[in-house]
Chains A and B, each alone.
Chain A
């Protein structure tokens, strides 16, 4: 379930996934955005499932559920289940390692193979603070983003540069897609109602029933 509306503490919940080569800084982007923390420890991601943070757009509370890879990208072993229901993705490369940018095409293909065509994709060039080590020019990345029809931003998780902007932009764009799609579904009599989602694992007595506002994938 990528996006659904609830009456509790948020209006929309959006699943967003982080993908890209090992070591490009995906986990630090996540911890910077959700907890304002940075770690110089370079060990592969262990222990992090996903993190959440809410932002406000057009008087709506958008809750982002941002998934990390658990290190499964190191030997190209991300599960197809990881992509289920994702409505947004950050495609992350390291501006100081050109090979990580070269692999963006493969990551984008994997993403497109497993997600809905409407998914919002942001190309992210991380570690932009390492100016003297830059190996990928902004022009080269901009051209790729335009060709592949993705958004693009350069960030630094270390210096907090553009991290907030990157996530906020993705969430805002998802919200626009969702709002537009909700209008379209309203006009389409063939759209089947997806029904209700109930959490039965954590609480046997379910009091909060969440209704789908729209569907993806």
Chain B
């Protein structure tokens, strides 16, 4: 990462009073900045990094390595001022969201170094959008779509034990063409899709009974007498579930039938929505980091003020009432706002020993307590060849127990090639992720998934990874470079200070944006989320608006 210049060489921020101050430019923060700007709020949007996106950024190879390797540290304020008469100053602590990073370069280090800037690697990957996602609708509604271009993900695969990659049959045509499904399996799947289609069709009277909609989806599929292979595809490759639905002891989220049907509906309505998208998924050209930037540009056009390379070091609270007043920047400047949104890595230390005796500190105790709802283990690989010949961009799901018997979670993977401008020609980036309870468990899962499809050069701890049979038809791509890291899942809210959701384990963004919209509604209950308006300031050139999809 290029060394940030003297952060205090900026002019002081002017004005000093805002409706909202936002710290961090991740996707949620950026969406809220755009939504609040659209309804006329005055906003200051800061990021301590020299790049946009926070945990949703797409970085060069060098910047990614630096980001994962170096722990964050908050600079102390340039001007050491004492508490003024009416505010209490409480210093922030910054706890990195990423931890347990392991980075290794196996081959071609000179090539990788020379081409660092040709990489645009997602911190929160694997991430993609379904063509029928609510995210697509939000991009259009907000106007952010005009800054983005997408391409379709060519193929979707599911990993089968001892058999390798099988196509996800996601349409009538693909079921017909599939070479690995038996005729009986094809008929079963066709009948099931037809049943779902009829259920979703408002003109049809034949519906799935209400009592069936409330039972576990896995039970419903068994009731339909679908074979295990089909069940696995529906549950993990199409509904994208994380946890083993057949294991009642450990299954944290047992999906109901009605939610399963909704997942199938999203998937099936995604296939074919855009003429040039071969499958259900889209990916932004240049990486997922383009998404927060698109919303930030949208906010800036509406008057939001942007500052990079500027952190906040302290919270300013009213001395008497204990309510929020503002923040102190690393430059020493104090700024005030009605509301504050914080990147989830910013925290208040729990024991407030330095606060005055009569200060009502119970409120801050709540902010110090973070709900850690789980962890996502992420892995990234760079290869010289594709996991599937002649396929540049594809997604892969490893259902529970497809790698080894004790595998309790799904693993998601995404391969992106150079035609999406995220890596040099002739290379591929693969992203892996899975839910886990601790770092060792997560990395074990990821390494097993990688070894199934890639040749990961032998390292000391590879012996502990269960060996997996590989598809002998294909030569495995060799990994040039890899990274592993753990991201925490955190959420909390306290009156005028909010914290945005962290990147989750989902492939798409819908859950995250639902949480973001809820946060916006809590903050501004009387305002509409991106109201439709034809602003005279917006460009009238229609040809330049709208979502663009490259084939």
Residues of A in contact with B (beta carbons under 8 Å apart): 1, 46-52, 65, 70-72, 74-77, 79-82, 84, 113, 192, 194-203, 206, 217
CB distance from A215 to the nearest CB of B (A): 10
Of the A-B pairs whose beta carbons lie under 8 Å apart in the complex, a sample of 24, sorted by A's number, is: A46-B303, A47-B303, A49-B301, A50-B539, A70-B297, A70-B300, A74-B11, A75-B11, A75-B306, A75-B310, A80-B289, A80-B293, A81-B286, A81-B293, A194-B550, A195-B550, A196-B551, A198-B275, A198-B549, A199-B545, A199-B547, A200-B547, A201-B139, A201-B546
Q: Is the interface on chain B under 10, 10 to 19, 20 to 34, or 35 or more residues?
A: 35 or more
Centre residue among B51, B306, B543, B548 by max chain A CB count within 10 A: B543
Question: How far, in angstroms, from A51 to B541 measured CA to CA in the complex?
Answer: 9
Taking CB as reference atom, which chain B residue is nearest A106? B5
What residues of A have a CB within 8 angstroms of the CB of B145 in the complex? Answer: 201
Q: Is the CB of A46 within 8 A of B421?
A: no
Q: Is the CB of A76 within 8 A of B51?
A: no
Q: Is the CB of A77 within 8 A of B308?
A: yes
Taking CB as reference atom, which chain B residue is nearest A76? B308
Taking CB as reference atom, which chain A residue is nearest B9? A76
CB distance from A69 to the nearest CB of B (A): 8
Question: How far, in angstroms, from A46 to B305 measured CA to CA in the complex?
Answer: 10
Taking CB as reference atom, which chain A residue is nearest B284? A81
Q: Is the CB of A79 within 8 A of B293?
A: yes
List the 10 closest pairs (A to B, CB-CB), nearest first: A201-B546, A47-B537, A202-B546, A77-B306, A201-B547, A70-B300, A75-B307, A79-B293, A195-B551, A81-B293
What residues of A have a CB within 8 angstroms of the CB of B13 in the complex? Answer: 75
Q: Mark B413-447, 1 if CB is under 8 A from A, else 0.
A: 00000010100000000000000000000000000
Q: A192-B419, A200-B547, A217-B421 are in contact. Are A70 and B286 (CB under 8 A)?
A: no
What residues of B have a CB within 8 angstroms of the CB of A80 in the complex? Answer: 51-52, 289, 293
Interface of chain B residues 273 through 299 with chain A (CB within 8 A): 274-276, 286, 289-290, 293-294, 296-297
Interface of chain B residues 392 through 430 with chain A (CB within 8 A): 419, 421
Q: Is the CB of B51 within 8 A of A202?
A: no
Taking CB as reference atom, which chain B residue is nearest A208? B543
Q: Is the CB of A202 within 8 A of B10?
A: no
Question: How far, in angstroms, from A76 to B488 measured CA to CA in the complex?
Answer: 30
Q: Is the CB of A200 within 8 A of B546?
A: yes
What residues of B have a CB within 8 angstroms of the CB of A196 in the complex? Answer: 276, 550-551
Taking CB as reference atom, which chain A residue is nearest B541? A52
What residues of B have a CB within 8 angstroms of the CB of A84 in the complex? Answer: 286, 290
Question: How far, in angstroms, from A1 to B148 measured CA to CA in the complex?
Answer: 10
Question: How far, in angstroms, from A162 to B348 measured CA to CA in the complex?
Answer: 55
CB distance from A145 to the nearest CB of B (A): 24
Q: Is the CB of B541 within 8 A of A202?
A: no
B199 contacts A by Cβ under 8 Å: no
Instruction: Please give 18 more A-B residue pairs, beta carbons under 8 A apart, in addition to A199-B546, A201-B546, A201-B548.
Output: A47-B301, A49-B146, A52-B541, A70-B297, A70-B300, A72-B297, A74-B11, A75-B10, A75-B308, A77-B52, A80-B51, A81-B286, A198-B548, A199-B547, A200-B274, A201-B545, A201-B547, A202-B542
Q: Is the CB of A46 within 8 A of B293?
A: no
Q: Mark B20-52, 1 if CB is under 8 A from A, else 0.
A: 000000000000000000000000000100011
What residues of A have a CB within 8 angstroms of the CB of B543 in the complex? Answer: 199
CB distance from A212 to the nearest CB of B (A): 9
Question: How far, in angstroms, from A48 to B289 measured CA to CA in the complex?
Answer: 23
Q: Is the CB of B545 within 8 A of A202?
A: yes
B83 contacts A by Cβ under 8 Å: no
CB distance from A110 to the nearest CB of B (A): 10
Taking CB as reference atom, which chain A residue is nearest B37? A46
What residues of B have a CB within 8 angstroms of the CB of A113 in the complex? Answer: 117
Taking CB as reference atom, which chain B residue is nearest A68? B301
Question: How far, in angstroms, from A202 to B546 measured CA to CA in the complex?
Answer: 5
B538 contacts A by Cβ under 8 Å: yes
